[in-house]
Amino acid sequence: MHRPSTITVDGPAASGKSTLAQALARELDYLFFDTGVMYRAVTLAALQRGVPIDDEAGCTRLAETVKIDVQPPSVDDGRLYDVCLDGVDVTWAIRKPEVNQNVSPVSAYPGVRTALTEQQRRIGQRGEVVMVGRDIGTVVLPDADLKIYLDASVEERARRRYQECLGRGETADYEGVQAEIRNRDQIDSNRTVSPLRPADDARIVDTDSMDATETLTYILGLVRNHDG
């Protein structure tokens, strides 16, 4: 068997991509690479270097010049990977509230997305990686060995996210969560740059009737039966 070395996991918001990708990477002893960390790293760089978040050109220049790397975790502190920005470990710094509050506009800039696609591709091409996002199989790694597109109905995705919120002790409104997911789907699917869609050769996995364990078991079957 030729085990796939590059595996992409794409799909809409709240489809369970990260949960699956983490578990799959752990099973295969691969790097789990959530590409969203790169947008966080650029946002952190902008905040640290005084580049206004609404300065699209400035944020794009940053994305084009900073060196972002993602490696397997080197410290046993709960991290899933190391994130380095120009050689400095920023794994936890990119999770600060000020980054959370500013990452959305930065990640929407076409120039930033284009620049980071190149950096994501550089890391993915090392192999032994499970890369998760929304345009990995279509744009970042179009030649990946195995492409998974994880999907579920809006209702099921909203139910899962609603339960997650309640589990964290947060107040949540199911209808509001569903509306938020529908809105995110609309934005992601109609984005000018790298819109959300399955790659032509992706294995589309509908998880409406599967929990996380069943989904992982099914995907591991795809890995074992990969004909590479």
pLDDT in tens, 185-204: 888 888 777 788 999 999 99
- Reduce the DSSP state of residue 69 to 3 states and report it: strand
Please indicate whether residue 45 or residue 167 has the higher confidence score (pLDDT).
45
Strand positions, DSSP E, the chain: 6-10, 31-34, 68-71, 82-85, 88-89, 129-133, 146-151, 203-206
Q: What is the mean pLDDT of residues 110-139?
A: 93
Burial of 109 (0-12, 13-18, 19+ CB in 10 A): buried
The domain locations on the chain are 1-30+127-228, 37-126
Tokens of 4: 């796939």
pLDDT at 131: 97
Helices (H) and strands (E) in the chain, counts: 8, 8
CB 140 within 8 A of CB 14: no
* Cα dist from 102 to 7, 106, 134, 174, whole Å: 29, 7, 19, 26
Q: Could you tell me the pLDDT band of residue 172, with boundaries at 50, 70 and 90?
A: confident
The CATH class for the domain spanning 1-30+127-228 reads alpha beta
Same fold? 1-30+127-228, 37-126: yes
Whether 15 shows a pLDDT value over 80: the answer reads yes
Burial of 29 (0-12, 13-18, 19+ CB in 10 A): exposed
pLDDT at 108: 85
- pTM value is 0.88
Please state, as a whole number, how many other Cβ atoms lie within 10 Å of the Cβ of residue 210. 15
pLDDT at 104: 83
Burial of 97 (0-12, 13-18, 19+ CB in 10 A): exposed
Please state, as a whole number, how many other Cβ atoms lie within 10 Å of the Cβ of residue 163. 13
CB 152 within 8 A of CB 207: yes
The CATH class for the domain spanning 37-126 reads alpha beta
CB 44 within 8 A of CB 99: yes
What digits encode the pLDDT tens for the residues 63-107?
999 999 999 999 999 999 999 999 999 999 999 989 988 998 898
pLDDT at 109: 92
